[in-house]
A = this chain, B = another copy of it.
């Protein structure tokens, strides 16, 4: 953490968590480096999910081989199993999962509140109204000032997650970046609810930072979280409050509206304000990872992103392709791929395409539920996203951000910018 009421000048007194190398002239896009306990991360960067301590279907060497320098571990799932005591006993999350590079851990709040608000993942993205979550057998018991009581989806036992608990679990995991606990405010609530929820998040922020100052592991950085829903004044107020805290970096959380324009507007207000009050602190956009959203997030000054999208799509047989008209994806289960001898994407350097696996073979493997198929499409998707981010970094460095962003939006194959360097 930074010093008390840290502002950006504080960064000079300790090793800075973040350095901005190049700022784009025409936007808030910037290329920088995160300096973390387990190494550096070139930004802007996408952070793959290692939800339960493994990037699904992959080994750490696979993830590193695709160019990733950081993964995200999930505090909620890891606190339920194998549990913070055992992870600490095994040497922390890095040692347990044999990932030697930086790890960011979320606070667990998003998953806990998903059980209460019902499918908060879709809810926060505005895609539907409140309803019972289909895939959660846990349940929330009470949200109180102290924290949240809930039932474990694993054994039905009662559990508690408060600001201090979350920080203590993340301390046991020994992540490079811990996120403070926030109340994930859903989209379909009143402005008054959003405001009160935001204020609680701010009180929790202080408690998280207080706990971390006393008991947090040396070298672990803490990100605060901006809430405020889709209300410009609340987002501005939350941004100022979080920026005025001792946090090392700032994440944007909560409801980002009901469609992409609204989401981009929320990000826009927030990073505009951050540019004013905390220009040098790193910024993370929570849970966003579609290709156009990554490009537009970078344009608005986001440094890191995490999202289940590329890995989850991969396990559902959806492969990323440079085709904005199809949301950058094709469904390999579709009958039209049955005899398709082409790789997922022409001239793609991912392990699946470079080894020459055809769409027809992947179609067959996916229909036969062969795990090799899930792995190959996951490798392709994470490789695709890694190259988009690599292109955006290179574009900022060369003062060509707008041009490269436009090319990617128009369906240029990612990797072009990276190729022209080599």
Chain B nearest CB, measured from A354 CB (Å): 11
B61 in contact with A358 (CB, 8 Å): no
- Which of A20-28, A90-98, A396-404 interfaces with chain B? A90-98
A97 in contact with B368 (CB, 8 Å): no
- Which of A212-220, A256-264, A283-291, A370-378 interfaces with chain B? A370-378
Residues from chain B with a CB closer than 8 A to the CB of A81 are: 364, 367-368
326-385 of chain A: CB within 8 A of chain B:
338-339, 341, 351, 355-358, 360-361, 364-365, 367-368, 370-376
A296 to B61, CA, bound (A): 37
A58 in contact with B372 (CB, 8 Å): yes
Residues from chain B with a CB closer than 8 A to the CB of A86 are: 338-339, 360, 364
B364 in contact with A59 (CB, 8 Å): no
B364 in contact with A82 (CB, 8 Å): yes
Interface assignment of A89: CB less than 8 Å from any CB of chain B: yes
Residues from chain B with a CB closer than 8 A to the CB of A370 are: 52-54, 56
A368 in contact with B98 (CB, 8 Å): no
Known: A54-B373, A371-B371, A372-B54. A60 touches B355 (CB 8 A): yes
A55 to B370, CA, bound (A): 9
Known: A81-B364, A96-B361, A98-B356. A341 touches B90 (CB 8 A): yes
Q: Which among B96, B339, B341 is the interface contact of A358 at CB below 8 angstroms?
A: B96
Query: Chain A contact residues (Cβ within 8 angstroms of B): what range?
Result: 35 or more
A59 in contact with B351 (CB, 8 Å): yes
Interface assignment of A57: CB less than 8 Å from any CB of chain B: yes
A368 to B356, CA, bound (A): 32
A58 to B82, CA, bound (A): 26
Residues from chain B with a CB closer than 8 A to the CB of A339 are: 86, 89-90
- The chain B residue with its CB closest to the CB of A86 is B339
Chain B nearest CB, measured from A83 CB (Å): 9
A85 to B58, CA, bound (A): 33
Chain B nearest CB, measured from A340 CB (Å): 10
**Best-surrounded residue of A82, A341, A376 (most CB of chain B within 10 A):** A82
Residues from chain B with a CB closer than 8 A to the CB of A52 are: 365, 368, 370
Residues from chain B with a CB closer than 8 A to the CB of A55 are: 372
- The chain B residue with its CB closest to the CB of A358 is B90
B364 in contact with A53 (CB, 8 Å): yes
A376 in contact with B90 (CB, 8 Å): no
- The chain B residue with its CB closest to the CB of A363 is B82
Residues from chain B with a CB closer than 8 A to the CB of A89 are: 339
B338 in contact with A372 (CB, 8 Å): no
Known: A86-B338, A90-B358, A364-B81. A372 touches B98 (CB 8 A): no
Q: List 7 A-B contacts (CB under 8 A).
A: A53-B361, A53-B365, A54-B373, A57-B371, A60-B355, A82-B338, A90-B339
Instruction: Other than A81-B367, A89-B339, A90-B339, give 8 A-B pairs with Cβ distance below 8 A.
Output: A54-B370, A54-B373, A56-B370, A59-B375, A82-B338, A86-B364, A371-B371, A371-B375
Q: Which residues of A are at the interface with B, using a C-beta cutoff of 8 A?
A: 52-61, 81-82, 86, 89-90, 96-98, 338-339, 341, 351, 355-358, 360-361, 364-365, 367-368, 370-376
